[in-house]
Each structure stands twice: as structure tokens, then as C-alpha cells.
């Protein structure tokens, strides 16, 4: 459990004894984050498959000061990462957002509405877009931050996304 105001973070990456800038940077990043937050560091057990590595060694034997405590070494091969982050090997799916019309009683008479979005998946971001008679599904998504106005005849689409999870289905609300 972290202290108040302290984030609980997980970091996955290369560290000593692997050589190279990514390994060194990830180690320094972990040290800096640990000064203010609770960080669980999962170190990768290989940098590259042998087939893709043309050099003699991936190991940096020059500087031991880059050692850092980490949870356990994990293989960067996809199946092991999937099992670590998706127990049972199944990618979780973000719940679809809920679309609600607020202040409909007063706003409806004027042909305008206030739209609110929410999602039951913790940590998910919600995107929305408008479709009207003149637009198609190719419209860009907007990041939902707070309730927004909509007009009579608009169609609002929304979807939820959580990093590492599959996107939710798109939900649609057609305003009268």
C-alpha cells in the first residue's frame, strides 16, 4: 500500500546487466520514480532474440552501479507478458460507456441537450464524437472530460479505452 499522494506504479523494461541506452534510461527512470512513488519494476530477461542480435554479447560488464532491485525477470516473449498482465491469457475488455442526457426537461424545449458519459471500467478513458446527417463514422474522437452540449438531430457515439485492454463496443444515442 502506498502513502497518501503516492502512486502505485508498475514499470516493465530492461535494466542491468543489459547494455545500451534503453537499459540505462529505464534504470534511471525507476530510481527517480521510486523517490516519490511505490514502483514495482519487472525486468526483462532478454533484450533481443539471438536471431536478431548480431553482436557478441548483450551484457554490459563495465558498470555495476546500474543494478536495481526488481520483482522478477520476465521473458519479453509475448506469452509470458500476456500471462503476467492478463491472467489466464485472456485480454480484458473495457466496459462500454453509458450515455445520459441531463437537464433534458428544460433543454429539450430549446432543442438542445447536455450529454454526460461514464464507464464502469476503472482507469478507462472515454472518447466521443458527433454524427449528423452531413457526417459519417470517419469523424475524429474527442476525449471526454466533462458534460457537453448537443443539439436535436445529433447522434452521439462513445467508446471506452483502457491501456492494455480491448476497446469497448461503440454505443450510440440519437437525439430527437
The values of phi and psi at residue 81, to 5°, are: -65, -40
Per-residue pLDDT of the chain (176 residues; tens, 9 = 90+): 567 778 989 898 888 777 788 888 898 999 999 999 999 888 887 776 655 566 677 777 776 666 777 766 666 565 666 666 777 777 889 999 999 987 655 544 567 889 999 999 999 999 999 886 666 666 789 999 999 998 888 899 999 999 878 899 999 999 88
d(CA 34, CA 11): 11
What pLDDT is stored for residue 33 in this prediction? 94
User: Biggest alpha carbon distance in the chain?
Assistant: 75
3-state SS, residue 118: strand
- Residue 81 belongs to what H/E stretch? helix 78-85
Burial (0-12, 13-18, 19+ Cβ within 10 Å), 128: buried
End-to-end CA distance of the chain: 49
Name the superfamily (CATH) of residues 98-174: Immunoglobulins (2.60.40.10)
Q: Outline which parts of the chain fall under CATH 2.60.40.10.
A: 98-174
Global pTM?
0.54
Amino acid at each position: 500500500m502506498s502513502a497518501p499522494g503516492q502512486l502505485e506504479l508498475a514499470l516493465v523494461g530492461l535494466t542491468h546487466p543489459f547494455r545500451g541506452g534503453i537499459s540505462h534510461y529505464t534504470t534511471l527512470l525507476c530510481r527517480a520514480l521510486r523517490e516519490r512513488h511505490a514502483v514495482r519494476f519487472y525486468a526483462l530477461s532478454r533484450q533481443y532474440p539471438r536471431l536478431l542480435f548480431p553482436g557478441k554479447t548483450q551484457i554490459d560488464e563495465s558498470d555495476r552501479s546500474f543494478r536495481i532491485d526488481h520483482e522478477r525477470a520476465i521473458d519479453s516473449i509475448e506469452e509470458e507478458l500476456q500471462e503476467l498482465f492478463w491472467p489466464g491469457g485472456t485480454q480484458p475488455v473495457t466496459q462500454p460507456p453509458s450515455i445520459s442526457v441531463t437537464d433534458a426537461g428544460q433543454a429539450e424545449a430549446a432543442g438542445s441537450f447536455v450529454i454526460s458519459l461514464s464507464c464502469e471500467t476503472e482507469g478507462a478513458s472515454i472518447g466521443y464524437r458527433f454524427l449528423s446527417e452531413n457526417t459519417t463514422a470517419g469523424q475524429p474522437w474527442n476525449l471526454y472530460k466533462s458534460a457537453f452540449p448537443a443539439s436535436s438531430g445529433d447522434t452521439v457515439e462513445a467508446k471506452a479505452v483502457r491501456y492494455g485492454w480491448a476497446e469497448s463496443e461503440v454505443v450510440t444515442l440519437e437525439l430527437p
